[in-house]
Amino acid sequence: MQHILNLTEEFKTNGWALIKNVFSNSEIEKYRDIANQLKTDHYDGDLLGHPLTRGILFDDRILKVVKQLLGTDELVYFGDSSCTIAKKPGNAHFHKDNPDKINGNGPDWQEEYPVIRLGIYLQNHDNFSGALAIRDKSHKTNNIKTGTAFYVDNQVGDLSVWYLTTTHAGYSKRLRIAPKLFLNTSLYRFVPDSMFVPEEKYRIAYFMTFGRKSPLLDRYLRYLKTREYMVQGWKRSQYDDSCFTFAKSKNITLIDMYPQVKDIDESTLNKGHVELPN
């Protein structure tokens, strides 16, 4: 794994980091096979719930990075992770994932955000479409337009990480005539598909979210319990003893959300973002 001098400082300043060469080519090939296996098995729970993916989620190299960036050895995991396979390019739109999207004076903006997400992309995106796009230094404001937008040039084996408050978009597209020039995602609909660089392979990515114990993490969970997609995801992720044992062996506090959400009436949930009342 590449040693990034001042990784934490860079992350805190920029709101994101790309860590090179964390995984070998053969590991990434294996992760592609596992993703396809999950799809064949119609498994759509989180990464802890499946024996083939929990070792990816709690890989020691990932945990080391997360501990360093969150500044704690006591990590919290709460069932927010996924394996996504997209046979066709998806829609890109810039967004943030934390609760205070409208209220720029809300609690999320008062201190360093204690929840981060990581992405392992199983194909090259340095010269291909489908890259994660980020707005640099966008993690301390709710203004979605703040920060210079760029493509994360990740290659097979790299690990991407960002705060939930960082403005980002998946599935960016690169123009054939100027692949390095950032084209705002809102302009894609005016450009014919033939003018974009294709993706290298159909896109597979693993995403995982970790937090540090804090009132802002509690509040994030309270927010997620208002969101339909997340409650449905938690309902699909029931842990057996092996999940708890594995989390314990990695010294991770596991918040099992299933009992908290299993009886929630989904018609009361929000499909889109609705600001928390407080």
Exposure string (b/e) for 199-221, b if CB count within 10 Å is 16 or more? Answer: bbeebbbbbbbbbbebebbebbb
d(CA 219, CA 217): 5
- Kindly give, in sequence order, each residue whose CB lies less than 8 Å from that of residue 95, ignoring residues fewer than 6 positions away: 144, 167, 168, 169
With CB under 6 A as the contact rule, which of the stretches 50-58, 167-175, 212-220, 249-257 interacts with ligand AKG?
167-175
Query: For residue 84, what is the enclosing H or E element?
Result: strand 81-86
DSSP alpha helices (H): ranges in the chain? 7-14, 25-40, 54-57, 60-70, 215-224, 228-235, 241-249, 258-261
**Taking the complex as a whole, how short is the minimal distance between the CB of residue 57 and ligand AKG, in angstroms?**
14
The two beta strands, 133-135 and 168-169, are antiparallel
Can residue 69 be called a binding residue for ligand AKG (CB under 6 A)?
no
Give the footprint of ligand AKG on residues 189-228 (CB under 6 A): 205, 207
Q: Report the residue from 132, 149, 216, 257 that binds ligand AKG according to the rule CB under 6 A.
A: 132
Q: Which is nearer to ligand AKG, 168 or 173 (CB)?
A: 168
**Taking the complex as a whole, how short is the minimal distance between the CB of residue 97 and ligand AKG, in angstroms?**
5
Beta bridge partner(s), residue 75: 212, 252
Q: Which is nearer to ligand AKG, 113 or 207 (CB)?
A: 207
**Taking the complex as a whole, how short is the minimal distance between the CB of residue 185 and ligand AKG, in angstroms?**
12
With CB under 6 A as the contact rule, which of the stretches 64-72, 168-176, 186-194, 259-267 interacts with ligand AKG?
168-176
Can residue 139 be called a binding residue for ligand AKG (CB under 6 A)?
no
- Phi and psi at residue 70, to the nearest 5°: -90, -5
Over the Cα atoms of the chain, what is R_g?
18
- Phi and psi at residue 107, to the nearest 5°: -55, -35
With CB under 6 A as the contact rule, which of the stretches 10-18, 49-57, 103-111, 166-174 interacts with ligand AKG?
166-174
Can residue 170 be called a binding residue for ligand AKG (CB under 6 A)?
yes
Q: Which is nearer to ligand AKG, 5 or 158 (CB)?
A: 158
Nearest to 138 by CA among 115, 119, 164, 116: 164
Q: Report the residue from 117, 140, 173, 219 that binds ligand AKG according to the rule CB under 6 A.
A: 117
Q: Report the residue from 140, 168, 212, 219 that binds ligand AKG according to the rule CB under 6 A.
A: 168
Interacting residues with ligand AKG (CB under 6 A): 97, 117, 119, 132, 168, 170-171, 205, 207
